[in-house]
Amino acid sequence: MSCFSFLKTIMFVFNAIIFLGGITVLGIGIWVKVDGGSFLKIIGSASPQLMQVVNVGYLCMAVGGFLILMGFLGCCGAIKESRCMLMLFFSIILIIFIAEIAGAVVVLAFSSLSQIFIDYIGTVAVKYLREDYGSDNELTTVWNTTMKEFKCCGFYGYKDFSNSTYYRNHQEYPPVCCSSVSPCQPNNISSEVKGCFKAFEHFLSQNGKIVGGVALGICGLELAAMIVALVLFCQIGNR
């Protein structure tokens, strides 16, 4: 087998996996939105904690659609030897790669700018917690799942819910902030329950090497995909 044929095979297999994965994720997203009841029964019987993810159907559909597009471009570009498809595939991966590098540079080199961004995110998060938590089902589900998994309360802390719509309607803080204690009042909230931002920072500090390894692995795969696509593009042009 020639080097060119080997690269075509690798490109096809790799993107076929991405394509099939995209179809699976898209199918799950459509299933969640169309028949959420049966999805809840199956997921709930397997893991009750995962019942809160039913409202991420649109995210699954978006991710699945993107994976299908990338897999299609990679597979067809390699098999049909289409330079246009290969270049489009290369360009999309390159844009994602540059965005990831730019984000890393901003976080590492411009801490003041990243702090401004974090402050902005915090302001928006607290605003939605106070105005929409408890009334917006999807937002409430996402926050409940996050607070359960990270054992946290609010963005900065439980006081984010003070004077909130939820507190005015129920005269207590979200039950997830107090575990099994009811009603959930400040004296029932453990001092160990921090804001989700602090909990996420702690998670990153404890699992930084794993997160960094996964990030480097993804960047490595993206770089390899770009190199293979570019090599195929050049060799097809020289044939």
Q: What are 140-175's pLDDT values in tens digits?
A: 888 888 888 888 999 999 899 988 999 999 888 998
114 falls within a domain: no
Distance separating alpha carbons of residues 87 and 19, to the nearest angstrom? 18
- For the ranges 16-25, 51-60, 175-184, 207-216, which has the lowest average pLDDT? 51-60
Residue 56, pLDDT score: 61
List the structure tokens of 53: 């993810």
43 falls within a domain: yes
For the chain, what is the mean pLDDT? 80
Residue 1, pLDDT score: 55
61 falls within a domain: yes
Percent of the chain that is helix, strand, coil (3-state, to 5): 80, 0, 15
List the structure tokens of 5: 């044929």
123 falls within a domain: no
Q: Which residues of 178-214 are buried (b: 16+ CB within 10 A; e: fewer)?
A: beeeeebeeeebeeebbbbbebeeeeeeeeeeeeeee
Does the pLDDT at position 55 exceed 50? yes
Mean pLDDT of 69-90: 88
pTM for this one?
Answer: 0.60
pLDDT tier at 47 (50, 70, 90 boundaries)?
A: very low
Q: Tell me the three state secondary structure of residue 9.
A: helix
Does the pLDDT at position 44 exceed 50? no
**Which domain covers residue 233, as residue numbers?**
1-107+207-239
Does the pLDDT at position 48 exceed 50? no
List the structure tokens of 67: 């994976």
Could you give phi then psi for residue 194, rounded to 5 degrees?
-100, 180
201 falls within a domain: no
**How many structural domains are present in the chain?**
1
81 falls within a domain: yes
Does the pLDDT at position 219 exceed 50? yes
User: pLDDT tens digits for 84-143?
Assistant: 988 999 998 899 888 888 877 766 666 555 667 778 888 888 998 899 898 888 788 888
Residue 41, pLDDT score: 52
Does the pLDDT at position 49 exceed 50? no
Residue 82, pLDDT score: 86
154 falls within a domain: no
Does the pLDDT at position 189 exceed 80? yes
Does the pLDDT at position 177 exceed 50? yes
Could you give phi then psi for residue 81, rounded to 5 degrees?
55, 45
55 falls within a domain: yes
